[in-house]
A and B are shown apart, each in its own frame.
Chain A
Amino acid sequence: MYVASGITKHYQGVHALNGVDLTVRAGEVHALLGANGAGKSTLVKILVGAEQPTSGSLTLDGRPVRFADVGDAAEKGVAIVSQELNLFPDLSVLHNLFLTREPLRSGVLVDQAEMRRRARPVLEAVGLDVPVDRLVGQLRLSERQLVEIARALLGEPKLLLLDEPTSALRAAETARLLGVVRTLRDQGVGIVYVSHMLEDVFAVADNVTILRDGCVAVAGEPCTSMTIRGVVGHMLGAAKPLDGESAKRPERPEGEQPPHSAPLRLEGVAVADEVGPIDLTAHPGEVVGLAGLEGSGAHTVFEVIFGRRRADAGTITLPTGRPGPSSETQAVRSGVAFIPGDRRRLGLMLEKPIFENIAIVRGGPLRGMGFLLNGKAMLARAEHWRNRLGIRMSSPRTPVGHLSGGNQQKVVFAKWLETEPPLVLLDDPTRGVDIGAKAEMHAAVADMAASGRVVLVTSSDLKELSDICDRVVIFFQGRACGELRDQQLNEHSLLEAMNTGDLASC
């Protein structure tokens, strides 16, 4: 049993946690919920010694403990899968898994064979199917997420802390992970499970604790006594109650011409043996989803439209009338915005202030703010987005890296919306965002479409796809094999079509 009592954590001026208690028992899945910035990650980091509390105490199996760092905690049986992955991109999967605890041969040489032998069952359990010698930097985000999980499992912890482990995972991978969690629980491992996917939480958790503004709102209630609606109420507090339905787009006023009236056209676009040829047209005002399993080509199409990959054949016409770009710079200047799924690597300058992050595309390559940048104007824009998207920050001058994960995602969103692009590509746009803010961001997407932009979306969250898209194009083995719309479009039809490439049954 792991007990945290009276945990308080203050960062310069920010009260992240105020006297929080949490008890995790062996053989229990304890969900830890709360809105973005509520303090979940902070609490989890304190539990594993990655941060030291300002005050409060930790007791493990009746004895007070104080972990010097994460390695120390791991030795004592407490492991973490952190929200922002901590992997080494230039090392192989195998070396990442065993870093600092490599099995040795005759006390000096790293025992590769032993590492492989021990890694195999764990990788199988989490369903990661990549060569273990591949560099982690070459893996997709979802694969990296699984490496991080596998690394935690390898230490055979007594207590496992999972901070949004499924935010980058697809449905099948998530289901598999939930299976692993249940197995571990049955073996007597205590598990803390942080997530914004409330369906998953209810599927796996025994008890819930809900944080709000750094305080405990619900303390370790059994899951069976709660409803999703009730949980959301506790998370968001007095803030607006959700109407359950996701925001559907406001109708565009009759007769009003959108500012960018040309469609996006792909004609016969093909990339090596990965994709194509593909024809696709998306009109202004439309939100079009691209769905498919990894490697089906949906994501490659995004990269081609954004100039990160070259198409070997076919033509692209952007809504601005320009041809397909040959670099990101050209794409941005031709009016394309790409909200990336991997915010740490592609989205943010973590140590730079929030307002600089928001201004960098418009003020930089787009030259939208003149030669001399105006700090006041940039700060004002950051304030605008703080209000529009509800970014929880103490000031626009704080480094983005000090924000909670969901709030960082909102900054990425703001940075690209700031450019007022005619074409918007969204890749998992609401990863790690809480349920309230998600609705806000979906509304922002709907607004973009309503103002005459072309919006393309991929998402690992099929509910999100079916909620915000007018139609979803299904990709299967490199081809667009049809589309789902209206009543046909729902999570189940999507999942089936993505896995079979067969739309007839929908």
Chain B
Amino acid sequence: MSDHDLKPPAQTATSRVGSDSASASSTVRGRAIRSAARRLLSVNEFGISAVLVVLVLAIGLYDPVFLEPNVLLTTLRQAAFVAIVAYGMVFLLAMTEFDLSVGGTYAVCFIVCAVMMANDGVNPWLAALISIVLGAGLGALNGVLASLLRIPVIIVTLGTLSAYRGVVTVISDNASVRGLPVDHAFFTGLGDQWLGMPVAAWFVVVLGIVLTIVFTKTRFGAMVRAIGSNRDAAAFSGIPIGRIRLYALMVVGALAGLAGVLNLAYFQGADPTVGAGFELQVIAAAIIGGTAVTGGSGTVPGALIGALVVSVINGGLVFFRVPTTWTNVVTGAVILIAVGMDALIRRRRDAALRLTA
């Protein structure tokens, strides 16, 4: 810049052209970087992703063992079971509904699958398939009850959560299921790793992509979001609310069934207390991920990050040697801090984006 000022006037014209285009190209690059940064910032999951990274690094700094592959893999696997069901919960939350029964559905499918294949019973693959269909059926039952009794899904599932759990106790006779064919490909394949990740995590990836598309790009997703943003207007627009809700509940049920099956494949044993408190983890994951309980919008990828946050907190507390009597208290506190940080980041970011708009 400064050197061209010293040049004789005759050359100024050409040099000015040159320097202008050079500075133009540098501003273009600057603008590209800035717009890329903006796009990254404006991703809704930005805040909670940052929180996740901070959590992992903080725990890792405190005790590097947390960052060892097998520990991270376990954390990932725990997150996977939660994330799969949280994906479905995003659809329900987006239409201002809650399904509290997912923990029960998860446990029923888990136990039924185990009982069916125990002692050389049903072929494990078939048992798995039946269990997933059963999950969808239990979801459908929730939907049908809500429509018939004309009561909110949250109330129906408060009842069915307890009922489904009861079914688990009855089926298992409150004891662990024995005689599982643990050498079968179902256990050695599904319960293992593939390309360095637990197979369950691959399900998370594939389902995440598929369900993101369903949520954001399909007719079904659009109607789900429409119901959540204005139920009266959705009904008035001819959207069959009961039917859509039924489908969403079946999706959640099937996903809970799948999570149960995957968990069985990994654990290779069936304990009737499985999945206690699972429903709260699922709902927490969806909400921490950025799906608003007020409905109308949601994020499937966010649910995955939310599940990772929940799982990192649960797994990480072990490293801080929190007395077991205190784990619930500390878990709750850390979740509040995480969500609070996300909200803070969002507000800051929104303000920043507004200024530069």
A contact residues vs B (CB 8 Å cutoff): 12-13, 327-329, 331-333, 338, 340, 345-352, 356, 359-361, 363-367, 369-373, 375, 415
Q: Interface readout for B337-357 with A: 1 if CB under 8 Å, 0 if not?
A: 000000000000000001001
Query: Are B230 and A328 in contact, CB atoms less than 8 angstroms apart?
Result: no
Q: Which residue of B lies closest to A346 (CB)?
A: B236
Q: Which residues of B contact A361 (CB under 8 A)?
A: 237-238
| A369 to B354 CA separation, bound complex (whole angstroms) | 34
Q: Which residues of B contact A348 (CB under 8 A)?
A: 230, 233
Output the least CB separation between A14 and chain B (Å): 11
Output the least CB separation between A306 and chain B (Å): 8
| A320 to B19 CA separation, bound complex (whole angstroms) | 69
Query: Are B219 and A363 in contact, CB atoms less than 8 angstroms apart?
Result: yes
| A338 to B236 CA separation, bound complex (whole angstroms) | 8
Q: Which residues of A contact B230 (CB under 8 A)?
A: 345, 348-350
B residues 206-251 touching A (CB-CB < 8 Å): 213, 217-220, 222-223, 225-226, 229-230, 232-240
Q: Which residue of B lies closest to A345 (CB)?
A: B232
> Cβ of B296 < 8 Å from any Cβ of A?
yes
Q: Which residues of A contact B354 (CB under 8 A)?
A: 12
| A350 to B294 CA separation, bound complex (whole angstroms) | 14
| A13 to B232 CA separation, bound complex (whole angstroms) | 31
Query: Are A373 and B222 in contact, CB atoms less than 8 angstroms apart?
Result: yes
Q: Which residue of B lies closest to A331 (CB)?
A: B238
Q: A351-B296, A364-B237 are in contact. Are A372 and B229 (CB under 8 A)?
A: no
| A352 to B295 CA separation, bound complex (whole angstroms) | 12
Q: Which residues of A contact B357 (CB under 8 A)?
A: 12-13
Q: Which residues of A contact B220 (CB under 8 A)?
A: 371
User: Among B217, B239, B240, B296, which residue has its beta carbon within 8 angstroms of that of A352?
Assistant: B296
| A348 to B230 CA separation, bound complex (whole angstroms) | 7
| A183 to B238 CA separation, bound complex (whole angstroms) | 45
Query: Are A364 and B226 in contact, CB atoms less than 8 angstroms apart?
Result: yes
The 7 closest A-B pairs by CB, nearest first: A332-B238, A365-B238, A349-B229, A346-B236, A329-B240, A329-B238, A349-B230
Count, chain B residues at interface, CB 8 A: 23
Query: Are A328 and B218 in contact, CB atoms less than 8 angstroms apart?
Result: no
Q: Which residues of B contact A356 (CB under 8 A)?
A: 222, 226
20 contacts between A and B (CB under 8 A): A12-B354, A327-B240, A329-B240, A332-B237, A346-B232, A347-B233, A349-B226, A352-B226, A352-B296, A356-B222, A360-B237, A364-B223, A364-B238, A365-B223, A365-B239, A366-B238, A372-B217, A373-B217, A373-B219, A375-B217
| A12 to B296 CA separation, bound complex (whole angstroms) | 23
Q: Which residue of B lies closest to A374 (CB)?
A: B217
Query: Are B229 and A352 in contact, CB atoms less than 8 angstroms apart?
Result: yes
Q: Which residues of B contact A340 (CB under 8 A)?
A: 236
B residues 254-309 touching A (CB-CB < 8 Å): 296
| A349 to B239 CA separation, bound complex (whole angstroms) | 13
Q: Which residues of A contact B217 (CB under 8 A)?
A: 372-373, 375
Q: A348-B230, A349-B296 are in contact. Are A371 and B218 (CB under 8 A)?
A: yes
Q: Which residues of A contact B234 (CB under 8 A)?
A: 349, 360
| A242 to B357 CA separation, bound complex (whole angstroms) | 38
| A364 to B244 CA separation, bound complex (whole angstroms) | 11
Q: Which residue of B lies closest to A343 (CB)?
A: B233
Output the least CB separation between A162 and chain B (Å): 27
Q: Which residue of A lies closest to B233 (CB)?
A: A346
Output the least CB separation between A377 and chain B (Å): 12
Q: Which residue of A lies closest to B230 (CB)?
A: A349
Q: Which residues of B contact A369 (CB under 8 A)?
A: 219
| A370 to B230 CA separation, bound complex (whole angstroms) | 23
Q: A12-B357, A345-B233 are in contact. Are A373 and B240 (CB under 8 A)?
A: no
Q: Which residues of A contact B239 (CB under 8 A)?
A: 329, 360, 364-365
Q: Which residue of A lies closest to B225 (CB)?
A: A352
Output the least CB separation between B285 and chain A (Å): 24
User: Among B219, B229, B296, which residue has its beta carbon within 8 angstroms of that of A371?
Assistant: B219
| A372 to B357 CA separation, bound complex (whole angstroms) | 32
Counting chain A CB atoms within 10 Å of each CB, the highest count among B217, B219, B222, B296 belongs to B219
Output the least CB separation between B200 and chain A (Å): 28
| A472 to B354 CA separation, bound complex (whole angstroms) | 52
Q: A333-B238, A340-B236, A345-B233 are in contact. Are A360 and B226 (CB under 8 A)?
A: yes
| A351 to B234 CA separation, bound complex (whole angstroms) | 14
| A365 to B234 CA separation, bound complex (whole angstroms) | 10
Q: Which residues of B contact A333 (CB under 8 A)?
A: 238
Q: A352-B225, A365-B240 are in contact. Are A373 and B218 (CB under 8 A)?
A: yes
Counting chain A CB atoms within 10 Å of each CB, the highest count among B223, B234, B235, B238 belongs to B238
| A415 to B230 CA separation, bound complex (whole angstroms) | 15
Q: Which residues of A contact B232 (CB under 8 A)?
A: 345-346
Q: Which residue of B lies closest to A334 (CB)?
A: B238
| A352 to B223 CA separation, bound complex (whole angstroms) | 12
Output the least CB separation between A452 and chain B (Å): 22
| A350 to B234 CA separation, bound complex (whole angstroms) | 12
Q: Which residue of B lies closest to A332 (CB)?
A: B238
| A356 to B239 CA separation, bound complex (whole angstroms) | 14
Query: Are A328 and B238 in contact, CB atoms less than 8 angstroms apart?
Result: yes
Query: Are B222 and A363 in contact, CB atoms less than 8 angstroms apart?
Result: yes
| A333 to B237 CA separation, bound complex (whole angstroms) | 10
Q: Which residue of A lies closest to B240 (CB)?
A: A329
Counting chain A CB atoms within 10 Å of each CB, the highest count among B233, B237, B240 belongs to B237
| A372 to B240 CA separation, bound complex (whole angstroms) | 18
Q: Which residues of B contact A364 (CB under 8 A)?
A: 219, 222-223, 226, 237-239
Q: Which residues of B contact A345 (CB under 8 A)?
A: 230, 232-233
Output the least CB separation between B9 and chain A (Å): 42
Q: Which residue of A lies closest to B357 (CB)?
A: A12
Output the least CB separation between B183 and chain A (Å): 42
Q: A345-B232, A352-B226, A360-B226 are in contact. List 11 more A-B contacts (CB 8 A).
A: A329-B239, A332-B237, A349-B233, A351-B296, A352-B225, A364-B219, A364-B237, A365-B240, A370-B219, A373-B218, A373-B222
| A12 to B351 CA separation, bound complex (whole angstroms) | 12
Output the least CB separation between A140 and chain B (Å): 15
| A332 to B240 CA separation, bound complex (whole angstroms) | 10
Output the least CB separation between A303 and chain B (Å): 11
